[in-house]
Structure 1
Amino acid sequence: MAKMIPTRNEVAEEYTWKLSDLFPSDDAWRTEFSRLHETMAQLSSYKGHLGESAQTLLAFLRLQDQMEVDGDRLLSYAFRKTDEDTRAPAYQEMSAQAHNFVVELEQALSFETPELLAIDEERLASFYQSAPELEHYRLLLTRIRRKKEHTLSAEGEELLASAGSMGQAPGSIFSLLNNADLTFADAVDSQGSRHPVTHGSYIPLMESPDRTLRESAFRSLYAGYGALKNTCSAVLSAQMKQLQFFAEARRYPSALHAALAETEVPVEIYHNLIETVHQHLPTMHRYVRLRKKLLGLDQLHYYDLYAPMVADEQMEVPFTTGKDLARAALAPLGEEYLRMLNEGFDNRWIDVYENQGKRSGAYSAGVYGVHPFVLLNYTDTLSDAFTLVHEMGHALHSYLSNHHQSPTYAGYKIFVAEVASTCNEALLIHHLLNGTKEPKRRAYLINHFLERFRATLYRQTMFAEFELWCSEQTQQGRALTADTLCAKYGELNRLYYGEDIEADPEIALEWARIPHFYYNFYVYQYATGFASAVALSQRILKEGKPAVDDYLRFLSGGCSSDPVTLLQGAGVDLSTPAPISDALRYFDHLLGEMESLLGV
């Protein structure tokens, strides 16, 4: 019998996040929404006055910090409520109001950067002298003034800010299409039983030992996207065009340059990742051949990529067990880290299970002055245990940065966002492998971590290469149609996975279901973050407290320095190919151990 997905009100409260920590009610949110519009008007009143005196500039920056804190709470409540059930009209409206608020705030503050740039160096130096409290904002002001060549006039900045809602439209449209409107036919297993195909159930279905079920789920999912491929291509094309528009408006050489400038990351790191992974593609091809051999298949298909390669080995990990595993695996990070972890477990930071209409996937969203909120769609698998430690890594990174940095510098750059999460995963696999010498169980666990390598370092780099190609096509004035997107995506799959897997036509549609293509050159950071995390976890396990202290300082750093420098302080230098190469050599080592354990 097909498993029924519960409605939201059928989920036990203990497995839902506690949004009353943000606002006690929707009415309280609406009251704050009105009040923040008044604060927005106060910020606007500084227009034309930022260069008048040190005290005026200081008062403006402090008010802006407070608006950042209060606005963060406002937005988080709206978006979390929407994600509980994306079909709910009331919260769709609330989310739309929150998006509009962001656009209005950007418009209201569009004068800020031009006015700050207009203050000459001598006058700004005198401001620091007459108001020593401004020293706190020196790094912020330096970063803003560094962007002088990419900043427009006050009128131009106001125009770009007013275009913000149009820039958000492709991502919003895709989210509604993907989470609220798109449905899939049930998958049918080898016994004729039906299984709902949802975003939350798809990967567990792909991990089933029943190949008939896997193939059915695979074809069901891509039939859904295939029916909408022209709509999906139009939305993705619109995303690339809006990124190119803003990059050109700000006089960046490309959308990639514009995106990475925001995170203070050299574009060479992006290209270096792709080039280094290309050098190690033969190891991925070897892994694919091993999978084909262990599954005993004449033809390996893409719906076989998640199937267990070690027969009769499987771990069911209920949520309670997942929390216990997390505590044990993360113990090397020290008592204080475990105290924060348990605080999250015990105080409903986490929305655990899937319900009808709930946003797919998983994420963590930090909120300054409150605590992070973690969305899961937990289905009691080993993968879910890894997702739990992954998202709690994000959560505690936010928690530490928010506790150790002011609102000005608490928000860490997305370049380092995946480091803490993946370091937790590396510590979990180490803990699990340490717990068994039994060859079959070790092979099962190694296979799981090899899959993380495949899905994160290799696959996300393939995504990054595809996203870069889409951007370059757009910059060159070439159309992104369903056919051209499928052709390129199919070509990249053949490059990354090799000749030992069948070229299923459905996989060429995978681009249509990846929400991260609407995140503006985000995906490459999963790969660089994974490589960094492997290095950090190995240092923590080898060196103990000194490495942990460096790591916790990194987690507490927010954006108090550029992200490459912060990582260097923890012992990882991504300005060189070494961390990527070292991680891929570790993949090769684990692959060799698995081959040895299984005698192939």
Structure 2
Amino acid sequence: MVKSLPPRSAVNVEETWNLNDLFRTEEEYNAAIEQLESEVASFEERFKGKITDEKAILEALDGYASIMGKMVPIGTYTSLSHSVDQTNDEAQMRASKYGSIASKLGSQLSFFTSELSEVSSELLENAMTQSEEYKNYLEELIRQKPHKLHPEVEKTLAAFSSVLNAPYGLYNTTKLVDMNFDDFEVDGEKYPLSYTTFEGGWESETDTEKRRAAYDAFHAKLREYQHTTAKTYDMHLQKEKTTSDLRGYDNVFDYLLFNQEVDRSMYDRQIDLIMEHLAPHMRKYAKLLQKVHGLDEMTFSDLKISLDPNYEPKITIEESKKYIDDALAIMGDDYLNMIDRSYKERWTDFAQNAGKSTGAFCSSPYGVHPYILISWTGSMEDVFVLAHELGHAGHFYNAHQHQNIFNSRPSMYFIEAPSTMNEMLMANHLLSNSDDPKFKRWVISSIVARTYYHNFVTHLLEAAYQRKVYERIDAGGSVNANVLNGLKRGVLEEFWGDDVKINEGAELTWMRQPHYYMGLYPYTYSAGLTISTQVSKRILEEGQPAVEDWLKVLQAGGTKSPAELSKMAGVDITTEQPLLDTIAYIGELIDQLVELTEEIEAAQVN
């Protein structure tokens, strides 16, 4: 049975992350802010109006890198301490206060990129020849030149950054602080409900009556907040559209894809091919779930159930380490040492508590170590999620060792490749360990239900919906709850067809994801998994040489474009073939599930 969540103060400290590696005390944190403010003031006094030659450019870059190095841990501490308990007044006030401070510092520092942008490209190119360390940063600056505004405008925009970014904070406050769920009732018995318990338990509950009752209660509460959440989202969209126009982009898509270093065709291809070619495979999977569970009809509320819930083992946090170590051993000793440290040094927040952010993420502050947030329920899905987040951690652990603070982060398009790679390695390892049909079906269904469903269905359907939203915004329109509900329902019905009933409440799914406040992020999950699926096949076939190539990709950080990074790993994402191959592979996995189910059922009859 799913239990109600305790307050943060009641959870086991050993299941929480150790933020002392960022700052040991509040006094140390406040002193770091004072030092940062002083350094920014000195930087402004020394360089404002004086960046006129190669020597000044390189000295200013040294100073700017130092400031960024101090800003990162402060921002990370502020964000992480808030993310584990958004009901905590102290964390709320700290986040609000630092938001204002960061806006002020951003405004003071805005002269730097503005003045560099006004320097001739020839002078910037000369500076590049004198410093390999800052070559990528200066190349990117030249690429951004056409979209830079007058220095005073840039300064004003930077000063307003905390206000302009407020919709995301408002979304989280509505979702995690104001939205309190009532218990739901089945056969006279009441059960507790929250965002975390629904997404981490009730959504995949094997008892159909309880699952559907939880679904109805959860979405009834969402519906109460739909208009506030829609207005919050529309504010964010209008900000992006205005920024796109001000900076001279042809459309909001070009603006949002610019920093991803991919063109519109790669974005559209990812959505269009999956909507067309993956849908038939996933409908077959849905019908298999319906058959195995003997459901009267297959509804949207049934899509997250396990194919064989009785086979699902409960896994402790400690036990998860052996699964992950064994699966990722092929990555080498240094990678395994990082994983070992993550457990020993409490890099991960496993606890379940009220007010904690939903889902999972990895934050990788430069100069410290990664931090992972997850709410541990003890399912195999948690092991896959943890392996996924450790993929992000391993990416930046490697990149930070080989790149400076400007060069360590790759395009968002590529960001989910290292994380989903770890899920593929986990699946391949489990599959190699047994020929038992029930075990194989359990592993394959875990891959389909967790890795591919999550990245190729959940997030891709977000992306298809998001594209429709931006098309509306780009045409000068706006959105409200009714519009968003209609767009979301339309995408779900297009993908699932007549094989899945899109029951009432499914249209509110847009309210659940924070990704919509992060640009064109949702489609990148399937893009990353396309890359990692193909590279994991290479690793299976070639072994160590493919692993070495992949480690070099991780170490390259942001020094290459997504296409260049993929090419280093042996995948050509400039064509549609890797994506089509990955979709075909998902189809093969689902066919195997059907065959294994028939084999298991035949054995039970005999």
TM-score (norm 2): 0.95
Secondary structure of the equivalent of 1:410?
A: coil
Instruction: Work out the CA distance in 2 between the residues paired with 1:51 and 1:44.
Output: 11
The 1:388–1:52 alpha-carbon spacing in structure 2 relative to 1, beyond 3 Å, is: same
> How many angstroms does 1:312 deviate by?
2.8
Q: 1:114, 1:38 → 2: CA distance?
A: 21
CA contact (8 A) 1:332 1:540 kept: no
1:541 aligns with 2:540: yes
In structure 1, the partner of 2:287 is 289
Q: By how many angstroms is 1:304 displaced? A: 0.9
Where do residues 123-522 of structure 1 align in structure 2 (5 Å cutoff)? 123-124=123-124, 127=127, 132=130, 134-189=131-186, 192-280=189-277, 281-310=279-308, 312-451=310-449, 452-522=451-521
Alpha-carbon contact 1:259-1:520 (below 8 Å) kept: yes
Alignment of structure 1 residues 29-48 onto 2, 5 Å: 29-46=29-46, 48=48
Worse-matched range after superposition: 472-481 or 65-74: 472-481
Q: Distance in 2 between matches of 1:17 and 1:122?
A: 48
Contact 1:361 1:377 in 2 (8 A): yes
Name 2:105's counterpart in structure 1: 105
Question: In the alignment, is the contact (CA less than 8 A) between 2:124 and 2:138 conserved in 1?
Answer: no
Q: Which letter maps to 2:88? A: A
Structure 1 letter corresponding to 2:8 = R
Kept in 2, the 8 Å contact 1:189–1:210? The answer is no
Cα deviation code 1:87-129 (max 9, x no counterpart) = 1111111112232233223212222233223222444455567
1:366-409, Cα deviation, whole Å (9 max, x unpaired): 01111011111001011111111111111111111111111221
Say whether the 8 Å CA contact 1:184–1:224 is kept in structure 2: yes
2:274 partner letter: V
Counterpart of 2:534 in 1: which secondary structure? helix
State the percentage of identical aligned residues: 26
Q: How does 1:88-103 map to 2 (within 5 A)?
A: 88-103=88-103
Return the alpha-carbon distance in structure 2 between the equivalents of residues 32 and 382 of structure 1.
41
Q: Which moved more, 1:69-78 or 1:411-420?
A: 411-420
Residue 561 (structure 2) aligns with: 562
Describe the SS at the equivalent of 2:362: strand
Partners of 2:52 and 2:119 within 8 A in 1:
no
Once residues 200 and 12 of structure 2 are traced to their aligned partners in structure 1, the CA distance between those partners, rounded to angstroms, is 24
- Match for 2:526: what amino acid? A
Match for residue 19 of structure 1?
Answer: 19
**Structure 1 residues without counterparts, runs of 5 or longer:** none
Q: Is the 8 A contact 2:128 2:134 kept in 1?
A: no
CA distance 1:448–1:187, shift in 2 (3 Å): farther
Supply the distance in 1 between the matched residues of 2:428 and 2:529 (Cα, whole angstroms): 15
Deviations 1:535-557 (A, max 9, x none): 11111122111111110011111
Pick closer, same or farther for the CA change 1:128–1:531 going to 2, 3 Å.
closer
* 1:9 and 2:6 aligned: no
Instruction: Please report how far the alpha carbon of residue 565 of structure 1 lies from its aligned counterpart in structure 2 after TM superposition.
Output: 0.9
For 1:515-534, list aligned pairs within 5 A: 515-534=514-533
Secondary structure of the residue that 1:330 maps to in structure 2?
helix
C-alpha deviation, 1:462, in angstroms: 1.4
Contact 1:190–1:210 (CA<8 Å) still a contact in 2?
A: no
Mean alpha-carbon deviation: is it higher for 312-321 or for 582-591?
312-321
Give secondary structure in 2 for the equivalent of 1:374: strand
The answer for the alignment partner of 1:120 in structure 2 is 120
Question: Residue type of the partner of 1:119?
Answer: V
> Partner letter of residue 481 of structure 2?
A
Change in 2 beyond 3 A, CA 1:319/1:128: closer
Distance 2:227 2:239 in 1: 18
Worse-matched range after superposition: 27-36 or 472-481 = 472-481
- Judged with a 3 Å threshold, the aligned counterparts in structure 2 of structure 1 residues 353 and 56 are, in CA distance, closer, same or farther, namely same
Q: Which amino acid aligns with 1:245?
A: T
Query: CA separation in 2, counterparts of 1:253 and 1:99?
Result: 31
Q: Cα deviation per residue 1:258-287 (whole Å; 9 max; x = unaligned)?
A: 121112122211101012113312222222
Cα separation, 1, equivalents of 2:438 and 2:122: 70
Q: Distance in 2 between matches of 1:135 and 1:227?
A: 55
Contact 2:204–2:306 under 8 Å retained in 1: yes
- The answer to whether residue 41 in structure 2 is matched with residue 68 in structure 1 is no
Query: Is residue 54–residue 123 contact of structure 2 (8 Å, CA) maintained in 1?
Result: no
Distance 2:125 2:270 in 1: 40
Render the CA deviation track for 1:31-71: whole Å, top value 9, x for unaligned: 11111111111232255434323332222111111111110
Q: Distance between the aligned counterparts of 1:565 and 1:55, measured in 2? A: 31
Which stretch of structure 1 is more off in the superposition, 215-224 or 187-196?
A: 187-196
- Is the alpha carbon distance of 1:481 and 1:122 closer, same or farther for their aligned partners in structure 2, counting shifts above 3 Å? closer
Which blocks of at least 5 consecutive residues in structure 2 are unaligned? 600-606
Structure 1: which amino acid aligns with 2:513?
Answer: I
Residues 417, 529 of structure 2: 8 Å contact kept: yes
Deviations 1:462-492 (A, max 9, x none): 1111111111111212231111111111111
Amino acid of the residue matched to residue 589 of structure 1? E
Question: 1:342, 1:590 → 2: CA distance?
Answer: 32
The alignment status of 1:572 with 2:606, answered yes or no, reads no
Name the CA distance, whole Å, in 2 between partners of 1:94 and 1:59: 33
- State the 1:412 CA deviation: 2.5
Change (3 A) 1:164 1:353: same
Mapped to 2, the partners of 1:368 and 1:287 lie a distance apart of 42
